Amino acid sequence: MTTNNQVSYETEAEINCITSNGDKTVTAEIDNFRFEDSLTAFIAHNKIHMTWTGKVYVGRMAGLEFTTYGPNETRTWNGRR
């Protein structure tokens, strides 16, 4: 039996930057997304490779740590209704 579900992901995600002054949240473009494996985020022309830790994607750059739950998922059903 085949399923007619199609899953797609948005090209942007909310990224949290953890600093000593507090957390900041920005919207980043997402590329090379692999579900529960890794993704690449682009923030202000900077590329951040992030890997899955079991709960969130984590990446580090310039002494800062970035976390995200990843892009939002959209499921569509392409069968008879």
Query: 5 lies in a domain?
Result: no
pTM reported for the whole predicted model: 0.85
Interval 42-64: pLDDT, tens: 999 999 999 999 999 999 998 89
Q: Read off the pLDDT band of 3 (50, 70, 90).
A: low
- Asked if residue 34 belongs to a domain, the reply is yes
The answer to whether residue 19 is domain-embedded is yes
Other beta carbons less than 10 A from residue 16's beta carbon: 14
Residue 79 included in any domain? no
* In-domain check, residue 53: yes
Burial call 18-47: b when 16+ CB within 10 Å, e when fewer? eeeeeeeeeebebeebeeeeebbbeeeeee
Q: In this structure, is residue 81 part of a structural domain?
A: no
Residue 1, domain member (yes or no): no
Task: Specify the number of domains making up the chain.
Answer: 1
Q: Which residues contact 21 (CB under 8 A, 6 or more apart)?
A: none
**Domain range for 20:** 11-71
